Amino acid sequence: MSFANTAIINDVTFHPCVRFRPWESNQILSFVPPDGQFKLMSYRVQKLKKTPIYVKPQLTSDSGNCRVSVMVGIRNDPGKPIDSITVQFQLPPLIVSADLTTNYGTVDILADKTCLWTIGQIPKDKAPALSGNLRLEEGLAQLHALPTFQVKFGIMGVAISGLQNDKLDVKNTPNAPYKGFRAQTQAGKYEVRS
């Protein structure tokens, strides 16, 4: 198997069935597949131009309260459903109570003061929004340390990295096999600072 644009690939890891020398010399994946399902390779792309979704957090605090508003939407439609979307952030230790609601999905505050907003798929008719109020400890007027929002999502059938399969040769098989390439995009470390 060879790819049209290997220059975008960084931090590659291979399944043990991959022969390393053909990759090292010509960027060709040569392997004997093991039985069953397996992950042939994983890689990272350092400078992804645009993520397919956006997350816009807004926090304002005064008089012992912090108002939170977070919107999530599709920035670049990859042509396939974006699913398994979650937004997570750590509530600062100075927060006494939190009252958060969402117009889509579910929001949970876990025991370690982590707020987990599970969206799933973004509906076509509205952008998911989370809003609410955080109550600060007595004597604090405003929140000084703002949280970082961690976002996760997945897209089956699309490689937003831009990696393209160039050629796939299958040898030593009695029948002509189906040749196919299946991609899956999964957010690694996608953080939005407020």
- pLDDT above 90 (res 131): yes
pTM summary value: 0.77
Residue keyed to tokens 């994946």: 29
- pLDDT above 70 (res 49): no
Strand partners, 95: 136
Give 115-124 pLDDT, tens digit per residue.
999 999 988 8
Terminal Cα distance for the chain, rounded: 42
What's 63's DSSP letter?
T
Say if residues 109 and 134 touch (Cβ distance below 8 Å).
no
- pLDDT above 90 (res 179): no
Question: Could you tell me which residue, 144 or 35, shows the higher pLDDT?
Answer: 35
Residue keyed to tokens 């599970």: 118
Mean pLDDT value across residues 20-31: 92
Residue boundaries of the structural domains of the chain = 2-48+161-180, 53-155
Q: What is the pLDDT of residue 95?
A: 85
- pLDDT above 80 (res 1): yes
Q: Which CATH architecture has domain 53-155?
A: Sandwich (2.60)
Q: What is the pLDDT of residue 15?
A: 95
Residue closest to 71 by CA, chosen among 49, 102, 48: 102
Give CA 166 to chain center in angstroms: 26
Task: Provide the CATH number for the domain formed by 2-48+161-180 in this structure.
Answer: 2.60.40.1170
Mean pLDDT value across residues 92-97: 85
Helix segments in 4-45, DSSP class H? 20-26
Percentage above 70 pLDDT, the chain:
98
Least confident of 31-40, 42-51, 63-72, 95-104: 42-51
Maximum pairwise Cα distance, the chain: 77
Q: Quick check: do 2-48+161-180 and 53-155 share a fold?
A: yes
Q: What is the pLDDT of residue 186?
A: 81
Q: What is the pLDDT of residue 56?
A: 94
Question: Could you tell me which residue, 115 or 188, shows the higher pLDDT?
Answer: 115
Distance CA 60, CA 140 (A): 14
Q: What is the pLDDT of residue 129?
A: 96
